[in-house]
Every structure is written in structure tokens, then in C-alpha cells.
DNA sequence: CAAACTAATTGATAAACATCAATTACAGTT
DNA sequence: AACTGTAATTGATGTTTATCAATTAGTTTG
């Protein structure tokens, strides 16, 4: 198992304050796997045997019901995913698939729970991470219930803009159909919503989005920290 | 502060395995307050100074954005609410109001965090509770994104039915307009959806709901444990 | 118990959004 | 560069859901 990746994940909020002993205990039982694109890593309903850490590539969390499917999140390096199922030893509620070739570290859930009980700093980090995830999903719910599709898109663009160091030009980090699913609309509707936003300070060329009039976009989106962070 | 309520909340999952010492530490700084109906307890954005425990009455968690409002949850005794904000020392993401006359115990967030660091069993309980809440909101998101309004109503009735000991007759524990808001639809649409469900084994008279044909309702709702628990 | 208020329902209409089909754009392969 | 498969867009249409207005039912209050 390459040392490089150990150093990387050691930096994660979840592990940074960990005793070396605890960290080794976690890594001792860990698998380090490489996956090609479009591999289904997790099928919702499976038992949560491993905590997953994505160190390179990209992973989509999604869910299916009655031949419908929706994207719940896109995970980029370096992040953990499905921590809650790991901690409660319950079935995964989301499925996961790689979007690109991805490197993933798999830590047995038992080990995570064991170190959680032994190491106070780890327990603290886990709670903060869980609370952060929880608050993220609460924001998502508010977004879905309080806003229309075009408002969700506008605000999402503002979030990306902020994340991209407030540059007025940005590249969508995923396919449009996945963005549409994430925002709770169809790809067709997303496309039409983009043309609507042309009158509100947004220009789109393929995956390139230019925010030509930030003021207009903000006036349309009316972002709030209580939804958009 | 009446002893009666201490005994009650001692039974909560969150406190049941707690050392007596830790429990007293939490209760030492706690306020015990009675509120009339329709009092706004929390305004989203406020700092999370207290963990709330509802011991009698009912509380609605809701959120507002741009003169729209949506119900996120209804809390019944005995439950805690807004644990995540308490643990992270961040602003509340939801507002809260009493629906009825309610008794609420307020524990200073600092005390909760202090006992969390000292008492391993409490830390465990907190993590399980947070994970449970998180998974609850993930289910909500899946419900909203994967199902139509009528499917959400049908499944919600099945959840209530199960909770009410599987009796074929049940009383809605909240007003219909709140149910509508919770399910992400208007009151008018809820009303029409109830008439639609008449052909699928459901009879409604005011707040009384009779499930006259469970098989039909289930065939329509297609419940799954991965959304409905 | 009537008055006054609020919630729930119903009908008519409009807006938002999805679906289906057809085309265009793009990316990867040979 | 032509071929192939997938993604994105566009147009036509249909469904779902919201809005507005009016009425009815149900609760609370004096």
C-alpha cells in the first residue's frame, strides 16, 4: 500500500488529530483498491461493512426506486462517504458508483467503531463530520422544498462560483444530466433553465459557464447562508 | 424542577446509559420551561445555545425562505431536537414553534459538549442519535426526489398505520395543512390527493383515516424500507 | 348558542415540470 | 478523418402541481 496515500488521508479532518496508534489500527485492516469508471461500489440495502475514502477520481451517490433514479451527491477527493451507516452498523441508504477511474480506501466498519470508542479525538472528529453531513442534507431538503428548479440552478451556480475562488468563469465538474438529477429536474428542463438564466447574467458554452453579471444572478437566486452555506 | 420529568428523560436513548454524575452535570444548568401554543422557540440563524428536549406538547420544525415556508418535521414527546447545531456550535438551520402548550427542557450546549468529551457512553449515544437523524433526512430527500405527491401521501399513511399498531383506523396527529407542507405539497393538492386515494383503499373523514383495503394501498404506495424505514 | 375566525374543500385556471421524439453536438475509437 | 455511441438540445405535447377565488366545515370565543 503506497505511503503517499496514507499521508494524504492523514490530513483529513477526520484523522488529523488522531493518535498514531489509532491511525495504524485503522490502516492495518484497510484495503486499498483501484476501480475503473462506472463501477457500482455500493448497492443501497447492503450492510455497511466498510467506511470508504476516495483518494482520487470521483464517485456518485445515488438512489433508485421503482425504475427511477436520483443523484444525491457527487464525492470528490479527498473525502469519506457513508459514515453514518458505518457507525450505526445499518444498511446503506445510498448506492455509489465510480464516475471515473478511482482509488478508494476501505476501512472495516468494526475498526472504525473500535477506534471511535478508544480515541476521544477520533470520537470528536466523527461527531463533527456526522453533524456536518446532517446539516448538509437539511440544506438540501430546504432547497428542494422552498425553491423552484430555476432557483436551485441559479444558487448552485453561485455555490460553484464561490468554490472556484469567485472567478467569473467556471467549468461544470460533472455531466449536465447528473447536475439535473442532483438538482431534482430532468436534463431537458435543465437545458431550458440555462437558456432562461441567459437573461439573468449567465452564459453557457458546453461545460463552460460564464457569470457575466453576478449582480443579476444574485438578484435572481437570492442566496442565503441557511441553505447555501 | 419536578423530579417526574427528570425520570422521564433519563429513559431517553441519549441519556439511558449515562453515568449519574454526567446526568446531573447536564441537569444542573438546565432550564425547565412551559410554553403556550404557537410560540416561536427558535429562529433559524440563531446560535445554538441550548439542546432542546420536548417532554410534553408538540413542536414543529420548519424553515422559511423568501416568504415561503415549509414544515421539516413535527416533534412529539419525548424527543430532543436540534442536536447537530448544538454539537457543532453553529447556527440553527431550522426554526421551531410550539403547536400546543409544551414543556421543554433546555440544556446549555456547552454542557452537552463538555459531557460528550468526558463520558464515553454519552459520546456513543450522541453519535448514534446524530446518525439516526442524518439517515432520517436522507430518507426524506429520497422520498421528495423519487416519488410524486400522491405516492408520498400513500406511503406516509402506511408509516402512520404501522406506528399505530397496524390498526386500520387512525387519527392524523396534525392539521392537514401541516401534513401537506411536510409532504411538500399545498393543502389544496393534499385534499385532492386524498380523494384520489379513495380508489386505493383509503377513506377520510376529517382527521380520521380508515385504511379499508391495505393491499390496494400498499400496491399503490410500493413502500420500501430504504425510504420508509 | 351565535359570532367570528380558521381550516378544509372544491372548482377554474395557470404555471411548472416531465415526457416523447427528433435532431445536433460531442467524445472516443479505428 | 469517418464511424459510433452517448450527451445535450429543441420542439411539441401532456401531466402534475400551484394559485386564486369561493364555499363549506369545524373551532374558538364572547
pLDDT in tens, B73-101: 999 999 999 999 999 999 999 999 999 99
Is 70 exceeded by the pLDDT of residue B2? no
User: What is the fold of B147-228?
Assistant: Arc Repressor Mutant, subunit A (1.10.10)
Mean predicted confidence (pLDDT) in B149-173 = 97
Cβ-7 Å neighbors of strand D: A 175-177, 187-188, 190-192, 194-195, 204, 206; B 148-150, 184-186, 188-189, 206
Q: Residue A193 phi/psi, 5° resolution?
A: -70, -35
Q: Sketch the domain layout of chain A as residue ranges.
A: 3-144, 147-228
Name the nearest CA neighbour of A143 among B92, B228, B141, B88. Answer: B141
Is 80 exceeded by the pLDDT of residue B1? no
Distance between B1 CA and the closest CA of chain A, angstroms:
31
Across the interface, whether the CB atoms of A142 and B66 are under 8 A apart is answered no
Name the nearest CA neighbour of A137 among B136, B151, B76, B220. Answer: B136
Report the SS3 class of residue B201.
Answer: coil
Distance between B112 CA and the closest CA of chain A, angstroms:
13
**Percent of chain B topping pLDDT 70:** 98
Q: Which nucleotides of D are covered by protein (CB under 7 A)?
A: 7-12, 16-21, 25-27
Across the interface, whether the CB atoms of A84 and B131 are under 8 A apart is answered yes
Report the SS3 class of residue B126.
Answer: helix
Residue A7: predicted pLDDT:
79
| B65 in A contact zone (CB under 8 Å) | yes
User: What is the fold of A3-144?
Assistant: Jelly Rolls (2.60.120)
| A74 in B contact zone (CB under 8 Å) | no
Distance between B48 CA and the closest CA of chain A, angstroms:
13
Per-residue pLDDT of chain A (229 residues; tens, 9 = 90+): 555 567 788 989 999 999 999 999 999 999 999 999 999 999 999 999 999 999 999 999 999 999 999 999 999 999 999 999 999 999 999 999 999 999 999 999 999 999 999 999 999 999 999 999 999 999 999 999 999 999 999 999 999 999 999 999 999 999 999 999 999 999 999 999 999 999 999 999 999 999 999 999 999 999 999 999 9
Report the SS3 class of residue B80.
Answer: strand
| A141 in B contact zone (CB under 8 Å) | yes
CA distance B78 to B76: 6
Q: Checking phi first, is residue B127 left (phi over 0); if not, alpha (psi -120 to 50) or beta?
A: alpha
Amino acid at each position: 500500500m503506497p505511503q503517499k496515500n496514507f499521508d494524504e488521508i492523514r490530513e483529513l479532518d477526520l484523522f488529523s488529530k488522531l493518535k498514531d496508534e489509532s491511525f495504524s489500527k485503522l490502516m492495518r485492516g484497510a484495503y486499498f483498491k483501484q476501480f475503473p469508471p462506472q463501477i457500482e461500489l455500493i448497492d443501497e440495502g447492503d450492510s455497511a461493512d466498510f467506511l470508504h475514502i476516495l483518494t482520487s477520481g470521483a464517485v456518485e451517490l445515488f438512489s433508485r426506486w421503482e425504475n427511477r433514479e436520483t443523484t444525491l451527491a457527487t464525492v470528490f477527493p479527498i473525502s469519506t462517504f457513508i459514515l453514518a451507516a458505518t457507525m450505526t452498523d445499518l444498511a446503506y441508504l445510498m448506492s455509489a458508483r465510480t464516475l471515473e477511474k478511482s482509488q478508494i480506501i476501505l476501512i472495516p466498519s468494526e475498526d472504525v467503531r473500535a477506534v471511535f470508542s478508544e480515541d476521544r479525538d477520533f470520537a470528536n472528529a466523527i461527531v463533527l463530520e456526522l453533524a456536518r453531513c446532517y446539516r448538509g442534507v437539511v440544506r438540501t431538503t430546504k432547497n428542494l422544498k422552498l425553491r423552484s428548479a430555476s432557483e436551485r440552478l441559479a444558487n448552485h451556480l453561485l455555490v460553484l462560483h464561490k468554490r472556484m475562488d469567485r472567478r467569473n468563469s467556471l467549468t461544470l465538474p460533472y455531466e449536465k444530466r447528473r447536475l439535473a438529477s442532483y438538482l431534482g429536474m430532468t436534463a431537458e428542463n435543465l437545458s431550458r433553465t440555462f437558456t432562461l438564466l441567459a437573461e439573468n447574467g449567465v452564459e453557457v458554452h458546453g461545460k463552460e459557464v460564464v457569470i457575466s453579471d453576478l449582480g443579476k444572478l444574485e438578484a435572481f437566486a437570492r442566496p442565503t447562508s441557511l441553505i447555501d452555506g
